[in-house]
Chain A
């Protein structure tokens, strides 16, 4: 059922977005994310990754979103890692994701 979107399979070459059941609470340190479906909480540890996560859905691929958020290629690695963690906890889903995929 989720052969293509297996958790942990994070492809920065495609478009991603927040899962529709995820709520975001901005904080001075970054943000809290809560997934109402999995009932899991996550922390975003700075404002840049928050901006990135919130804008992901507007871009066709992650690298474009990074550029738009002002993240240089040389600084991308920690952000890509953070996103891959969010993918494995289902906080992020592919843009073509439908509810049945969960």
Chain B
């Protein structure tokens, strides 16, 4: 019994998929009060086909049976659903913990007090600048003040260890220490994730994604501070910058293997950054429930097969980055078996310079169909629109 049979590395086992996801992101609604420029889910308007309360509860029942310990709930802005708190309570009563992402709009002192009383709910406030100027340029006028008010209310109510969730951009990468200080001030934990060219993010990625020099800066910062900062495992494309294992986390793409996304109409996608037909595994209502989609969808079975290193097969760092992020490649029009657009060995830039066709969005709930300039004063040259806050793979290190 003690003879330790050679066990494949955990990462290798995860790449072959599990019977149930480790982390699941569930966008409850495409409705949102903001309209962040980089919104992964192109949210704004509610989809009329949005799942009913009962359909959501049926999903929670399935998650309980599958022992999915918690869901990352997002949107859109999930708290604007009128049954949001009912669903949170239903989930926690059924042993499915809830982490939800919000821009803070509904986190009043009363709500904060209710949240502080529950052991099973975690709150993640999205913030994309440590100052109103930088934040509001991306998330819209007033959004910084709204997020900080939510953090104040949570802290005042005694809610411990809220998360501040930041998408790292060219304009906020210099503010990482400030974000950390902000988190410390509210007894919160900082979580930083990668900007993906998904949803409306495709429209602003060229201007907002960190430069090559900033990627190195970010990597160094993570190595120095990584222990106390969550990343949702989203920076594995940077792992080629240093020694294996220097970055905390599993550093693998869990799409369709250990993570996935359920969208507001019940469509199941391989990951939160991949809302496109190419990554659609099925629908929980039309295809016999979530468990069936997770286990038997053709797409997920494909993703659990060994993947080709393709153009990266000659690279000494392939083992570290595994070719980077599938969604980042797809939405920048790069081949799926080639380098990540932000490849730290520099193979992304020439690939981006070639002729490429960027896939058009297939699901867009932006309030005006397309982004438009805000009605008020325009903070920068950017446009406004809000994201489903960044979602990602689990943040925790294995024992």
Contact = CB atoms under 8 A, between A and B. Distances in A.
Most buried by B among A27, A39, A46: A39
A13 interface: no
Contacts of B99: 39
A32 B1 contact: no
B10 interface: yes
Contacts, number: 63
Contacts of A28: 13
B2 interface: yes
Sort chain A's interface into a size bin: 20 to 34
B13 A36 contact: no
A71 B2 contact: yes
Interface in B1-52: 1-2, 4, 7-8, 10, 13, 18-20, 22
Contacts of A40: 396
Nearest to A43: B398
B69 A41 contact: yes
B290 interface: no
Nearest to B67: A25
Given A27-B18, A69-B1, A45 B122 contact: no
A89 B97 CA distance: 18
A41 B18 CA distance: 16
A59 interface: no
Interface in A64-102: 69-72, 75, 82, 85-86, 89
Contacts of B70: 34, 39
A32 B22 contact: yes
Contact of A48 (B2, B67, B120, B122): B2
A44 B398 CA distance: 8
Interface string B133-168: 000000000000000000000000000010000000
B320 to A, nearest CB: 20
Interface in B239-272: none
A42 B119 contact: no
B69 A23 contact: yes
Contacts of A8: none
B10 A82 contact: no
Contacts of B1: 48, 69-71
A34 B2 CA distance: 25
B95 interface: yes
B219 to A, nearest CB: 24
Contacts of A45: 7, 10, 398-399
A44 B95 CA distance: 21
B125 interface: no
B49 to A, nearest CB: 32
Contact of A41 (B7, B22, B120): B22
Contacts of A33: 399
A75 B95 CA distance: 36
Contact of B399 (A21, A69, A72, A85): A85
B396 A41 contact: yes
B10 A36 contact: no
A45 B9 CA distance: 9
Nearest to A85: B399
B204 interface: no
15 contacts: A28-B13, A29-B7, A32-B22, A36-B69, A37-B119, A40-B396, A41-B22, A41-B69, A42-B396, A45-B10, A45-B399, A48-B4, A69-B1, A75-B2, A89-B399
Given A39-B70, A43-B10, A71-B1, 12 more contacts: A23-B67, A25-B20, A27-B18, A28-B13, A33-B399, A36-B119, A41-B394, A43-B398, A46-B4, A48-B1, A48-B4, A70-B2
Interface of B: 1-2, 4, 7-8, 10, 13, 18-20, 22, 67, 69-70, 95, 97, 99, 119-120, 122, 161, 394, 396, 398-399
